[in-house]
Chains A and B, each alone.
Chain A
Amino acid sequence: GESVGLHLPTLSVQEGDNSIINCAYSNSASDYFIWYKQESGKGPQFIIDIRSNMDKRQGQRVTVLLNKTVKHLSLQIAATQPGDSAVYFCAEIGVGTDKLIFGTGTRLQVFP
């Protein structure tokens, strides 16, 4: 299949290590944020979301942190597995709109 994100920033981690993927968002008025995982040739897959009234949210093996002061999001993946290898995108929805605005993706490569 084709490759998503041929020239994206890349994070390489060893299997079992924790991964941290960062994202800077654009609109200080955005109030809803989502992390998506996209494997080659597939559509984005929902991972976790967070609202602007929170600064942290945890899921299964994943944690999202939101720092509104510097407009920064991060996705932490615990005990990274080979199946986590993909391109990860953050996306935001601003106040008064319903469309997602995607950030620059990050390719995560997991080595055994």
Chain B
Amino acid sequence: DTGVSQNPRHKITKRGQNVTFRCDPISEHNRLYWYRQTLGQGPEFLTYFQNEAQLEKSRLLSDRFSAERPKGSFSTLEIQRTEQGDSAMYLCASSLVVIETQYFGPGTRLLVL
């Protein structure tokens, strides 16, 4: 399977704990995006990388959130001191710079108790 992969697929945590999600983009895709989706809504942009560089961050990305893409391949999204409002589906997408089509992974469903 050469699509975008995300791990874990589901995560249940207690309020105040830290969580980290991983995204592996389609091979050779140099752009990687993170989105968040809550029930009944479309995905909302969080941040994106071109290779290792983080080029844009949404205002939704509070200081408890941090994303990295250290080698320009996989990316991690960490949420510190989780809150119940962080419960959502976290989606990763990737694309090529010259072709804007973004392909999504299956998402990580986070539930904060």
Residues on A facing B (Cβ under 8 Å): 2-8, 32, 34, 36, 41-46, 49, 89, 91, 93, 97-105
CA gap between A4 and B42 in the complex, in Å:
9
Taking a contact as CB atoms under 8 Å apart, the answer to whether B104 and A44 are in contact is yes
Taking a contact as CB atoms under 8 Å apart, the answer to whether B40 and A5 are in contact is yes
Q: Could you tell me which residues of chain B, from 54 to 113, have a CB within 8 Å of some CB in chain A?
A: 55-56, 58, 91, 93, 100-107, 109
Q: Could you tell me which residues of chain B, from 23 to 67, have a CB within 8 Å of some CB in chain A?
A: 31, 33, 35, 37, 39-40, 42-45, 48, 55-56, 58
Taking a contact as CB atoms under 8 Å apart, the answer to whether B42 and A102 are in contact is yes
Taking a contact as CB atoms under 8 Å apart, the answer to whether B45 and A6 are in contact is no
**Set B35, B42, B93, B107: member contacting A42, Cβ < 8 A:** B107
**Set B6, B45, B105: member contacting A100, Cβ < 8 A:** B45
Chain A residues near B33 (CB-CB < 8 A): 99-100
Known contacts A6-B40, A43-B91: does B101 contact A49 (CB below 8 Å)? yes
Count chain B residues whose beta carbon lies closer than 8 angstroms to a beta carbon of A.
Answer: 27
Closest chain A residue, CB of each to CB of B107? A43
Taking a contact as CB atoms under 8 Å apart, the answer to whether A7 and B91 are in contact is no
Known contacts A46-B101, A49-B101, A100-B102: does B45 contact A2 (CB below 8 Å)? no
Chain B residues near A102 (CB-CB < 8 A): 42-44
Chain B residues near A44 (CB-CB < 8 A): 43, 91, 104
Chain B residues near A97 (CB-CB < 8 A): 56
Known contacts A42-B106, A43-B91, A98-B55: does B40 contact A93 (CB below 8 Å)? no
Known contacts A89-B42, A99-B33: does B102 contact A34 (CB below 8 Å)? yes
In angstroms, how far is the closest chain B Cβ from the Cβ of A40? 11
Known contacts A44-B91, A98-B55: does B107 contact A3 (CB below 8 Å)? no
Taking a contact as CB atoms under 8 Å apart, the answer to whether A98 and B100 are in contact is yes
Taking a contact as CB atoms under 8 Å apart, the answer to whether A3 and B39 are in contact is yes
